[in-house]
């Protein structure tokens, strides 16, 4: 390690001996070779790597070796560095197959677009010495929305009337944030409930992870709209309700009551919770396997949700 970088590490006084720190990288192409104790030199700053990020999905840890937890040595602040990683895969929605791809260029472009907007994670894209676009991200001061909801231990009925109206209001504000991207010809690309965070101070919602793009002939914003529907179903049901976990005969449930995207998830939630108003349930049914009409824009979705929210506030 060069002496100038070693001096930065010594000044920061990390919780491990300086002798354990390793290589200074200016080229992040081989991101699998960059690990704990290494330093990434980028844009005139130095980032001490403390480990790899991971996602927890479906009860399993999914390591993300191209995403590094770091300390910016010049200021001592926590940063996340997303190194350039190319991948593509097919997403299946009913009879449709949509090709998705990961794009560092897209995410850097969106970071410029949403700079200063608290509805989105903040950061910037910086090129390393090999021309790779590294996203240097600020830590979101919050917690995943789905984890917050899972920690609410009241009954669904108490939740629905006491807590849900404010959650729906904030979710609708998050939908408007996605519309802001669409107005500029951008998509989020990977809308999931674990990509929406709740700010610890304000309680407002903040989107993270914009690096997926996708190809869709019919509607470039379609996958984003389906993602919003999945979150709406989750917050309305206070979780996921799988058809195999309920008494389908007693409740009169069939495949038509489940989601087009995830055929095992019940979206006709009024059959589970009869106090859910019909107007709100009709919105959910736009995402069902039996629906022939889907939302094509965020304003269409919000136009149907706004009277639902007004009615809930009056109850």
Q: What is the CATH number of the domain that holds 281?
A: 1.10.510.10
Residue 297: burial class (beta carbons within 10 Å; 0-12, 13-18, 19+): middle
End-to-end CA distance of the chain: 65
Res. 95: pLDDT tops 80: no
Are 25 and 170 found together in one domain? no
Res. 3: pLDDT tops 80: no
Alpha helices in the chain (DSSP H): 3-12, 104-113, 145-150, 156-162, 164-183, 222-237, 248-251, 278-285, 298-314
Q: What is the span of the domain harbouring residue 204?
A: 142-314
Spatial CA neighbour of 243 closest among 254, 232, 235, 234 = 254
Q: How many domains does the chain have?
A: 2
Cβ–Cβ < 8 Å for 212, 203? no
pLDDT of residue 220: 82
Residue 90 vs residue 306, higher pLDDT: 306
Residue 101 vs residue 108, higher pLDDT: 108
Residue 62 — pLDDT band, cuts 50, 70, 90? confident
Are 263 and 150 found together in one domain? yes
Are 65 and 173 found together in one domain? no
Per residue in 250-287, pLDDT (tens digit) is 898 998 999 987 888 999 999 999 999 999 999 999 99
Averaged pLDDT for residues 181-200: 96
Per residue in 106-152, pLDDT (tens digit) is 999 999 999 999 999 999 999 999 999 999 999 999 999 999 999 99
pLDDT of residue 57: 60
Residue 189 vs residue 87, higher pLDDT: 189
Q: In whole numbers, what is the pLDDT of the chain averaged over residues? A: 90
pLDDT of residue 248: 86
Are 159 and 286 found together in one domain? yes
Averaged pLDDT for residues 50-56: 84
- The reply to whether 95 falls in a domain is no
pLDDT of residue 185: 94
């Amino acid at each position: 390690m060069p002496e100038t970088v070693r001096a930065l590490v010594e000044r920061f006084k990390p919780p491990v001996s300086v002798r354990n720190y390793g290589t200074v990288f200016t080229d992040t192409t081989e991101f699998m070779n960059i690990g704990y104790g290494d330093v990434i030199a980028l844009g005139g700053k130095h980032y001490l790597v403390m480990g790899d990020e991971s996602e927890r999905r479906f009860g399993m840890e999914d390591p993300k070796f191209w995403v590094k937890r770091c300390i910016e040595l010049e200021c001592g602040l926590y940063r996340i560095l997303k190194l350039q990683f190319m991948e593509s895969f097919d997403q299946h929605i009913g009879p449709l197959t949509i090709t998705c791809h990961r794009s560092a260029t897209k995410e850097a472009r969106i970071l410029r677009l949403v700079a200063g907007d608290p509805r989105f994670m903040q950061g910037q894209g910086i090129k390393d010495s090999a021309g790779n676009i590294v996203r240097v991200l600020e830590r979101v001061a919050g917690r995943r929305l789905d984890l917050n909801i899972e920690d609410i231990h009241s009954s669904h009925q108490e939740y629905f009337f006491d807590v849900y109206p404010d959650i729906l209001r904030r979710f609708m504000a998050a939908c408007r944030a996605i519309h802001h991207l669409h107005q500029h010809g951008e998509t989020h690309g990977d809308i999931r409930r674990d990509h929406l965070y709740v700010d610890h101070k304000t309680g407002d919602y903040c989107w993270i992870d914009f690096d997926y793009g996708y190809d869709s002939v019919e509607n470039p914003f379609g996958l984003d709209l389906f993602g919003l529907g999945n979150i709406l179903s989750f917050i309305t049901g206070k979780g996921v309700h799988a058809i195999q976990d309920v008494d389908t005969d007693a409740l009169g449930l069939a495949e038509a009551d489940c989601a087009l995207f995830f055929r095992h998830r019940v979206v006709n939630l009024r059959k589970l919770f009869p106090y859910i108003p019909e107007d709100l349930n009709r919105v959910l049914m736009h995402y069902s396997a039996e629906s022939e009409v889907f939302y094509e824009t965020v304003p269409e979705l919000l136009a149907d949700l706004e009277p639902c929210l007004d009615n809930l506030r009056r109850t």
